Each structure stands twice: as structure tokens, then as C-alpha cells.
Amino acid sequence: MTAYDDQNIFAKILRGEIPSFKVYEDDETLCFMDIMPRTDGHCLVIPKTACRNILDATPAQLAACMATVSKVANAAKTAFDADGITLQQFSEAAGGQEVFHLHFHIHPRHEGLPMRPPGTMGDMDVIKGHAEKIAAAIG
């Protein structure tokens, strides 16, 4: 497997070199907003330790991420009065992965409303408001 590249954008976010809209943080994980949101409330959960994806993640990294995913997904569902949640994880380029640091996408979903296409930059003020809305629902 390819070595972890500590210059990836999520590693830079963890080091504070790139700003992000933080939703939740604990000792092992960070959740922040996706700046190209495919749904309102689209956020990402990552481990604070290095791993490329689910294929090289340790059981401890996966457990920590899933605990945060559960917490944030429930808060996002509440915050956006969503009908459900879509959880996505892509591993390796052939699997659709673009940033090679393990991450889980959380999408609040509403019945009959499709996800937006990928790759469109969102409005930063709106994204910041969404981060605050989810964080408030976490408590």
C-alpha cells in the first residue's frame, strides 16, 4: 500500500495550516464541514492520526471515527430535520477517494431531494452557519 502523505489537505487542516469550519472534536477525531457540500449539512469525520483509508486503518481508528460519525449523524439529522442520513467512505482512487486521509462523509437527507453534483464550492457563510447548527445539536 502507498505510504501516507502528511501533506494532504486533511493533515494540513489537523495541523491548523488550512482553516475549516469545525463541528466537533475529541481526542481522537475531528468533524468539519465539506466546502463543496452535496447536501446542506455535509460534513466529514476524520481520525487525528495518520491513515490513508479504511484499508489501512486500525480497529481503534475505525472505532473512534464511527463513534463520532454516530454522534454527528444524529445531531445533523436533528439540526436539519432530515428524513435520514447517507454515510459515504471511499478507499483508493478506484473506489472514488480523492483525499488520502481516512474520512467519512455525513449527508443529512430529505425524502425526494437528490444530492447536488460533486465539485461545486459552497457559500462559506452558509457552510459556517450549518457547522454552528450541527454543533449546537450535539450539545
Catalytic residue among 42, 103, 105, 130: 103
In DSSP terms, which residues pair with 29 in a beta bridge?
Answer: 47
Q: How far apart are CA 136 and CA 122, in angstroms?
A: 21
| Sign of the four-CA dihedral 121, 88, 69, 136 | positive
Backbone conformation region of residue 113, classed left if phi is above 0, alpha if psi is from -120 to 50, else beta: beta
Does 107 participate in catalysis according to the annotation?
Answer: no
Positions annotated as catalytic residues are 103
